[in-house]
Amino acid sequence: MTTHRSINRRYAALAAELGLEVAKVHPIGWSATTVPPATAGRYAGVLDDLERCLRLWRRREQPASRPPSRNLLACACPRRIRVAPATLEVAPIVCAACDDAFEPVDA
């Protein structure tokens, strides 16, 4: 059975292999990890590449802004619906509950 302490010791050993410094924090174990200047210098090129890739990925994941494709309408109840602009152009839309026409809601 693997214990919390053996996991922490293994983490500390692996971190040291990579050039990281790990200190013991009571009561949770070997968890305070820092990057010494020499290690940061050794990995500087790799970290620059990762930063550039992450920045590109974050830009791509943001949805492009575009105008809303549906109009928000309300009646006297006031019930609200969203309809496509083409649907709204065909004919007025009337609420069956209050017999009032749905009108565009000002944003």
**In this structure, are residues 89 and 71 in contact, taking their beta carbons and an 8 Å threshold?**
no
State the Cα–Cα distance between residues 30 and 37, nearest whole angstrom. 20
Return the pLDDT at 5: 61
- Ordered per-residue pLDDT tens for the chain, 107 residues: 455 566 688 888 999 999 999 998 888 888 889 999 999 999 999 988 888 888 776 666 666 665 566 789 999 998 999 998 888 889 999 999 999 999 988 75
Please name which of 82, 74, 76 lies closest in space to residue 105, comparing C-alpha atoms: 74
Return the pLDDT at 57: 64
What pTM was computed for the model? 0.42
Beta strands in 5-70 (DSSP E): 21-25, 29-34
Please name which of 37, 10, 33 lies closest in space to residue 23, comparing C-alpha atoms: 33
The length of the chain is 107
